[in-house]
Structure 1
C-alpha cells in the first residue's frame, strides 16, 4: 500500500469514527477550545455529558463538505450533528463489513440475528418487519402491544421460514453448496440439510398453533404483509388483525417455551435439585 493509500484509509477510518460517535443520541461535535486543532464529540449518558471521540478538525470539515454532518441550529459555537446522509453512509459502511448490498442496507435497519446450530447468522431488516412496528406501538395502558416473547417467537418463526426456502424466489440462488444437500423429488431443486431441519421445525410450529393461525404467521412473518393487507385479503374487520396475531404469537411463544416472565408453580415443573450422592429428599 502506497503512502497516499495509507493516508486515504486513515482519513476514511477517522470519518467513520466521527459519524459513529455522532450517531449516539444527543451527540454533538465542536472544536475543543484548546487551540489544538481537535474536534471533540460529546454525548449525554445517564445525565452526564461524556466525550465519545477526539478527532482532527479536518475530519469534521471533510464530513461537512460531503453533507454527512451539518451545523446545529439549536446551539452555538459551531457544533455539528449527524445528517440523514451521514446515517446512510454508516449503514453502507456496515453493510460492506457483512457482505450486504450497501445501497439496500442504507434504506433499512439491518440487525444480525444468530441462526440455529450449524446455520449462518441472518441479517434482518427491522424497518420492513411488521412485528418490529407493532413492538414499538403502545396500547391504552402505555405498554407495548407486543412483548419480548412475542417478538422473539415471531423472529424465530421468520428465520425458520427463510432457512426452509419455502417462499417463492424471484432471483437465482448462488449460495447453495454441493455438500450436505438433498434433492427434492417433486421439483428437482437442491435443498440443504439446514433447510430440511428448518422445515421440520416449521411443521411442529404449524401443528402447535393450528392451520389458520399458521397461515397468518406465514403472511406476517414470512411474506412481511402489513395487517391492513391481511385484513383486506381475509375479509376481517379493521384493526382485528393485530388481536388475532397476538393470539397466534402467544401460542407460538408457548410452543417455543418463551415467556416474558415466569409466574406460578407450573413454571417450575422442570426444575431439578442438585445434591451430593448421599442426598435424600425430605418427605
Structure 2
C-alpha cells in the first residue's frame, strides 16, 4: 500500500483534520508504518508515535470516537480507490456528505462556540443521537436551549480540542476549552476581515489613505470589539438584574424571544451593517405568495427575521437589532439612538415583549419554526 499524503488521503480527509489525527488514521486504518509517516512529515518517529498514542487515549470521548470512526471510513475508501487506478480515472472520489468541510466548520463553530462562551452553557450529547444541543443554566434551577448542533460538527470541534467532555455518560456534557476560545477569536477576526474587505471593495476605495481611514472607522464599530466581549450577551446581563421585589428585569420568555431573533439572524448568514441595507429589510416582502413555496434553510430564517423587524418597526427594531443580533451594549445603543441614559433597557424590554407576542402568534398560525 502506498501512502500518498498529497493525493488520495487529502482529497478524502477535510483540511481541518489535525495532523496527529491524520497520522493516527493513516497508521490504524491505512496500515502505514510509523517511520514512513515520520519520514513523510519530516519529523522523528517518536513524535508520530506520541501523536498516535495521544489520539488513541481520546477515543474514550464519545464525540472524538465518532469523528475518528467517520474519518476512518474516508481513509479506507481513499486506500481502496488508490488501488483501483481505473476507478480513479473514471470517477472522482466522493466525500461523505455529512462530513463538514473547513468553511462549514468555521461557520458553525462561530455560532456554537459563542453560545458556549456564555456562563453556565454546556453542549449536551446523547448517545446515538444525530444532534446535540447547547443548554444554558438560567440561574434559578432551570435551563434553556440556545443552539442545536449537528453531530458531525460537534465531533469535529471535539477532535480539534475546542470542546472537552467533563462527564462522559449516557448524556455527555462538553464545555468550551481555552483552545476553543482562541479559535473563536480567530474565526471572528477572519470573518470581520472578509466583511470589511467586501465593504471596502463595494465603497470603491481608491487610495491606501482612504482604505486606512475606513479600517479605523470599522475598528470603532462594536462588531470589531465583540470578539473581546464574548462571555455574555446584553440579554443575559439584563436577565440577572432584579427589581426591588426580586423579579428579574427580563423573564426567560423575553430572553428566548431575543435569542430566537439572533438565531434567525445567524442562520440567515447576514453580515454587519457595513454591508446591509436594513431599510430594504423593513420594506421587503417577508412571506411568499404561495404558502406551499415557503423557503427553507437560510432563506426561511431570512424571511422570519424580516417579518420580526417589520413587526417591531423603527426604534424598537433598532434596539433589538443592536442588542440581540450585534450584541452591542445598551450604553452604546443609547448614544447611537440619541436616547437618555438608562432608557435603553426599558425600550429593549418593550421590544422583546412585542417580539415574544409576534412569535407566539406566528407559532399559533403554524409557521415560523426554527430549523
TM-score, normalised with respect to structure 2 = 0.33
TM-score (norm 1): 0.43
Which of the two has greater helix per residue?
A: 2
